[in-house]
Chains A and B, each alone.
Chain A
Amino acid sequence: MRKLLIAAVWVLLVCAFYAYFQLFAILGYLK
């Protein structure tokens, strides 16, 4: 269970940060 929690939190963090940074990068590019 501990492993699941760690893995889930890590993956969520990476995907969320990636989506956040990419959104701004692409918006900046389109501007």
Chain B
Amino acid sequence: MTELFFFLMFIAAVYGIGSFLLKFFKLESKSFWEEFAFANALGLLLAVYVTLLLGVLGILDRALFISMAAASVVIFRNRIISFAAAVAKASKSQFTGRFNFSKLLLLILVAFAILNLVASTAPVASSDALAYHVALPKLYVSGGSISFYPSIIPSAYPSAADMLFLYGFILDGGVLSGLVSFYIVLLLAISIYAFGRRFFSMQAALLASVVFYTLPLVSVYNTRAFVDISTALFAFLSFYALFLWHSHRKSSLLVLSALMAGLSASTKISGILAVAVIALAVIYSSLLLKNISLRNKIIAAVKSSFVFSVVSAFVVVPWYVRSFLYTGNPVYPLLFSVFGGINLHPGIVFFWFRESLQDVGLGTSVFSFLLLPWNMTMHPSAFGDLLGIGPVFLAVIPLLLLLGKADRKIIAILAMALLFLAGWFITGQNLRYVIVIFALFAVVSACVLSQLLRHNALKYVAAAVIAATLLFNSAALLGTNYDKIPVALNLVSRDSYLSGHSPTYGLFQFANENLPAGSRLCLYGESRGYYSDNNYIWCNPSLQSYVDFYRMNSSQQLAHRLKELNITHVVYDRTAESDVAYYAGRNLPHAAGVFMNGNRIMHEFLSERATLLFSNDNGAVYRLTY
């Protein structure tokens, strides 16, 4: 339960300081949810950079982080109490009186949120979180500072969301990192609600929030401590602030939009798409100014886009500088042919950015683009996600054509979604990379559904779509969390849950309990090192070239390299053997080739210089003698 206490403290602290910062942006919000969304986003922005600064300075001290959160809660207590009182008052009015459709939607939202909250308290078990989103925070805390781990390429990525996971980890461990992820998803649902309420209607706002929050894809990433939801949250809030700026033309709102876009780009390299798309929208919006000459419109567009770009750059550039200082490449490992980068073999870069990205999606032709709405809905597994987005967008958005002339705001939202979609289509077609589109589609779908519900005949169609969607989405939620909830409620043991989710968990358990202090592991066939309490490096042939299996051809070379890196033990995951066939089957010859070479060398090396300490069905732990 301590994690829930620290979780509430973290939210209150973030909101408190963010609410104070928000007053400088003159939002003049009439909705407390709107104020809540932007206040939290600013609080998170501050939390990201304070954590980064203290981490780089080597001051990752738990007492300090608790004190900062506590200080924010105490100093801004009046703001926090006022907000809590406003929510309590609104809730009271929602849960009294006659039961109606809005109350049903709210109830569904609350039920989903409670289930997601419970599931989020399960131990960290998702692949990328175990490999780096929560594993790196654990390494930073145990190492005392934020630094570059040369074998773990993602340690040089823009990591704004990972800084939030790090804050959570420092407060109360990995589960709190997962709860921070849950909170970010909820914040996005609240932001969608606030946006719908501000620009459309209460019903559309609630529907949009429910449509988004119950999407199968969102249920999957709710509890996974991935960064993609953060990328989407800040991109959506940037878009939201842009809409506000378009209506009010206050430069503070443009700055707010730019800060959010910069923060989105700070969570993931591909998040730069938000800056590009919204900068285009800023230019377009300036050209729509009325009662001024074309020349003045162009001057306004240049000025606004300049302010937007400079402020966004101010937020995101620290990450590029950090990456440059670590590796010599500001966007490591991207643009290798331009900037190069340490410990990087061109084969790895080719595999990561050509082979594996070409492996997701259904082509980049014009015809493929036109078929995207159908394919993204019907074949989500081709876009890297089994459950996808459900049928709601494809079923509902085309019905706009039946409703006569569309609202200009809806057209603007669709145009923005189209720009995001086009950018995503030509870069990496993985559904989770562009969750912001689904937030925008949720708003459009909700507006269409809301209009249909007012139509005499079409209201039955709207009701059927809502019912079918919620049915599919509830099944997806339960399917996603069926194993997390029992372990979160202590009905299943943590060890048996983790043994099922992380094949090498048993190997790490053995290593944690039996290896001498100061041991340093080479993880072969495995990169999910979160549950290792020993220091380790990644040795997977296709994920790094710090131990470069592209250039090696003998066990002597491997021995020389591992000795040079002070490696004392190898944790060997047997999936390394099946990975060759797996990559070959997916038409990834580069990865299959380097894995085949790596396996040959590693097997030779282990038979010559290693002593088997422990073995199970999933792998083995070896001690090395040089």
Residue B491 at the A interface, CB < 8 A?
A: no
B458→A18 contact, CB < 8 A? no
Residues of B within 8 A of A19 (CB): 472
A1→B386 contact, CB < 8 A? no
Given the known A-B contacts A25-B386, A26-B386, A29-B386, are A11 and B395 also in contact in the complex, defined by CB atoms under 8 Å? Answer: yes
Chain B proximity mask over A11-23: 1 for CB below 8 Å, otherwise 0: 1001101110110
**Distance of B94 from chain A, by nearest CB (Å):** 29
Residue B104 at the A interface, CB < 8 A?
A: no
User: Can you give 14 contacting A-B residue pairs, CB < 8 Å?
Assistant: A4-B460, A4-B461, A6-B402, A10-B399, A11-B396, A11-B399, A14-B395, A17-B378, A18-B390, A18-B394, A21-B379, A22-B387, A25-B380, A25-B381
What residue of chain A has the Cβ atom nearest to residue B394's Cβ? A14
Partner of B472 from A18, A21, A25 at Cβ < 8 Å: A18
Residue B468 at the A interface, CB < 8 A?
A: yes
> Which B residues lie at the A interface, using CB under 8 A?
377-381, 386-387, 390-391, 394-396, 398-399, 402, 452, 457-458, 460-461, 464-465, 468, 472
What residue of chain B has the Cβ atom nearest to residue A4's Cβ? B457
Residues of A within 8 A of B386 (CB): 25-26, 29
**What 6 additional pairs, Cβ within 8 angstroms, besides A11-B464, A14-B395, A18-B377?**
A1-B457, A3-B402, A7-B452, A18-B472, A22-B472, A25-B381
What residue of chain A has the Cβ atom nearest to residue B464's Cβ? A11
Given the known A-B contacts A14-B377, A15-B468, A21-B378, are A3 and B395 also in contact in the complex, defined by CB atoms under 8 Å? Answer: no
Partner of B395 from A1, A15, A21, A22 at Cβ < 8 Å: A15
B391→A8 contact, CB < 8 A? no
Main secondary structure of the interface of B (DSSP, over half): helix
User: CA separation between A15 and B394, bound complex, in Å?
Assistant: 9
What residue of chain A has the Cβ atom nearest to residue B456's Cβ? A4
Residues of A within 8 A of B387 (CB): 22
User: CA separation between A11 and B472, bound complex, in Å?
Assistant: 14
User: CA separation between A7 and B402, bound complex, in Å?
Assistant: 8
Partner of B391 from A1, A7, A14 at Cβ < 8 Å: A14
Q: Which of B387, B396, B458, B461 has the most CB of A within 10 A?
A: B461
Partner of A7 from B377, B399, B472 at Cβ < 8 Å: B399
Given the known A-B contacts A3-B402, A18-B378, A21-B378, are A8 and B461 also in contact in the complex, defined by CB atoms under 8 Å? Answer: yes
User: CA separation between A16 and B406, bound complex, in Å?
Assistant: 27
Residues of B within 8 A of A8 (CB): 460-461, 464
Partner of A15 from B391, B402, B460 at Cβ < 8 Å: B391
A10→B395 contact, CB < 8 A? yes
What residue of chain A has the Cβ atom nearest to residue B461's Cβ? A7
B457→A11 contact, CB < 8 A? no
Given the known A-B contacts A10-B399, A21-B378, A25-B386, are A3 and B391 also in contact in the complex, defined by CB atoms under 8 Å? Answer: no
**Distance of B232 from chain A, by nearest CB (Å):** 23
Residues of B within 8 A of A6 (CB): 402
User: CA separation between A14 and B391, bound complex, in Å?
Assistant: 6
User: CA separation between A7 and B291, bound complex, in Å?
Assistant: 42
User: CA separation between A24 and B468, bound complex, in Å?
Assistant: 19
Partner of A10 from B377, B381, B390, B398 at Cβ < 8 Å: B398
Residues of B within 8 A of A11 (CB): 395-396, 399, 461, 464-465, 468
